[in-house]
Chains A and B, each alone.
Chain A
Amino acid sequence: NAGVTQTPKFQVLKTGQSMTLQCAQDMNHEYMSWYRQDPGMGLRLIHYSVGAGITDQGEVPNGYNVSRSTTEDFPLRLLSAAPSQTSVYFCASRQGKNSPLHFGNGTRLTVT
């Protein structure tokens, strides 16, 4: 099993550009989520999904869109990148409520 796979590992965008961060898991996990990690602030939840076709907002959803058309994939879309979105992004998944999160290796995004 590959676990949770995020692509790309690094990305540089100009302000106003759009892009999609990819996340895939091969563990048949129902729950998937996106976090961002900023210095001195820990990880904060952006969006999450409890199953295919179901998504919901987390703590910091503005500027991001998600969809969940399959159990395996949970892409994160930046519609119009801003310098405030410079961060490290983590995708994570888990099976049931009693299970811990499994994290991908992160994507470092820089918006200039």
Chain B
Amino acid sequence: AQTVTQSQPEMSVQEAETVTLSCTYDTSESDYYLFWYKQPPSRQMILVIRQEAYKQQNATENRFSVNFQKAAKSFSLKISDSQLGDAAMYFCAYRPQFGNEKLTFGTGTRLTIIP
């Protein structure tokens, strides 16, 4: 069974600094998708970034980028120039490309931004 592990329940970073959130996953599949979702206090789940496993290039979206290490089954999220609006719970998630429709989530990392 696929599992997703986020080993940092809480992280904090000074405003304008850079922070990296960790995520590891376990799967026997070779084709899959990985996602980072942000959940602010409003409770809404917002897609931050996605990565296709067949792509070697790391995905980037403005200040957000990932470090995807397929062999190590690692998918970390880097937030550059942290802003107060980045404060939220961040969830890493996995979905196989074929077959099972289930999106498997990690338990989340609560990110605090220090002004």
Given contacts A100-B35, A105-B43, contact A43 B91 (CB under 8 A): yes
A interface, size bucket? 20 to 34
Docked Cα-Cα span, A92 to B35, in Å, equals 15
A48 within 8 A of B: yes
Q: Are B108 and A42 in contact (CB under 8 A)?
A: yes
A12 within 8 A of B: no
Given contacts A90-B45, A106-B43, contact A33 B107 (CB under 8 A): no
B contact residues around A82 at 8 Å (CB): none
Q: Are B97 and A41 in contact (CB under 8 A)?
A: no
By secondary structure, the B interface counts as loop
- Which A positions have Cβ atoms within 8 angstroms of B? 31, 33, 35, 40-45, 48, 50, 56, 58-59, 88, 90, 92, 97-98, 100-103, 105-106, 108
Q: Are A42 and B107 in contact (CB under 8 A)?
A: yes
Q: Are A103 and B101 in contact (CB under 8 A)?
A: no
B contact residues around A90 at 8 Å (CB): 45
Q: Are B43 and A40 in contact (CB under 8 A)?
A: no
Nearest CB in chain A: distance from B6 CB, A:
8
